[in-house]
Structure 1
Amino acid sequence: MNNISSIGLNKEKSKELADLLNDLLANYSIFYQNVKGYHWNIKGNKFFELHLKFEELYNDLFIKIDDIAERVLTLGFEPEFRFTDFLEKSKILESKGVFKADKIVEELLFSLKVLLEKQRKVLKYSEEINDEGTNALMSDYIREQEKLVWMYSAYTFES
């Protein structure tokens, strides 16, 4: 029995990686929905500024969700898509009743921290199994999100 996939990776190890990616997908999906809620419900004197930033962010998250799901498919497995599964797996929780900028940015920074931790775990494992496609994806996401953490942290800084 051949244990090498059509893209040249070990099938069993690819399954483990697909599981990690599905966990990441769950967290991205909850975060995406939260950011849409932040965009719709932000109130206060930072409305115009953050309303636009949240729209940029959820559009970016939508693309990343699709990329992650397609990577799972490329590895030869099925991406999860049910919100009940996402809610069970996700460390990022549904946001409830958050309308003020300070609280929203605090939740947003926590969610980015979770994504960064999970992406580093995926990156480490994908490096171990020589999966350059997943490595490249995770490296790009990590770099982009580290910058977002810096920017949103600077936004909350009070002099």
Structure 2
Amino acid sequence: MDKLTQIGLQKTDSKEIADKLNELLANYHLYYQNLRGFHWNIKGVHFFQLHAKFEELYNNALTRIDEIAERILTIGQTPLHTFSDYVRVASIKEAGSLSGDTETVRATYDNLTVLLNLEREILIMAAETGDEGTVGLISEDINENEKTLWMLNAFLS
């Protein structure tokens, strides 16, 4: 019985999934922080649209961050919780001082692509191990992120 987590999943599988979820968590934090900077610093003719859109996206990201961290705890592991860990683990980099419409939307598109690729990896891992809770969490986010990528691409076209 000690090979199972408190919710009945294999501990070794849950550890591997939690490691990947922590990678996603770290990337979400960088994505979130980039969006905050874009929201604060956006300039140009699309200011009003993008200022509001970036706020919507960072509020959604903050919700996802909490859900991912809670899922890591639910499967018996510890979420990363220092910004130095996030920067060390994340593939997404700090965006710096971007303020133009095209460059901020492009950076957001690229960041979301990183998140989506990680989510697809996690989805496969979770499905293979019978971790339906993680599958549900990630499936919902994939759907939302695909739609957002489509919208960002339409803006960039």
Answer yes or no: same fold by TM over 0.5. Answer: yes
1:96 aligns with 2:96: yes
Which residue is 2:116 aligned to?
A: 116
Which residue is 2:82 aligned to?
A: 82
Structure 1: tracts of 5 or more residues without a match? none
1:67-101 residue CA offsets vs partner (Å, 9 max, x unmatched): 00000000011100111111111110001110000
RMSD: 0.7
Which residue is 1:148 aligned to?
A: 148
1:2-13 → structure 2 map (5 Å cutoff)? 2-13=2-13
How far, CA to CA, are the matches of 2:142 and 2:30 in structure 1? 18
1:121-141 residue CA offsets vs partner (Å, 9 max, x unmatched): 000000111000000011000
Structure 1: which amino acid aligns with 2:69?
A: A
How far, CA to CA, are the matches of 1:138 and 1:55 in structure 2? 22
Q: Aligned pair count?
A: 157
How far, CA to CA, are the matches of 2:122 and 2:48 in structure 1? 36
Classify the secondary structure of the residue corresponding to 1:117.
Answer: helix
> TM-score, with normalisation over the residues of structure 2?
0.98
1:87-116 residue CA offsets vs partner (Å, 9 max, x unmatched): 111110001110000000110000010000
TM-superposed CA distance for 1:155, in Å, is 1.1
1:50 aligns with 2:63: no
Structure 2: which amino acid aligns with 1:48?
A: F
Point out 4+ residue stretches in structure 1 off by more than 6 angstroms. none
TM-superposed CA distance for 1:6, in Å, is 1.4
> TM-score, with normalisation over the residues of structure 1?
0.97
How far, CA to CA, are the matches of 2:61 and 2:96 in structure 1? 20
How far, CA to CA, are the matches of 1:84 and 1:151 in structure 2? 32
Which residue is 2:138 aligned to?
A: 138
How far, CA to CA, are the matches of 1:52 and 1:139 in structure 2? 26
Classify the secondary structure of the residue corresponding to 1:98.
Answer: coil
1:129 aligns with 2:129: yes
1:13-32 → structure 2 map (5 Å cutoff)? 13-32=13-32
1:5-30 residue CA offsets vs partner (Å, 9 max, x unmatched): 11110011101111000000000000
Structure 2: tracts of 5 or more residues without a match? none
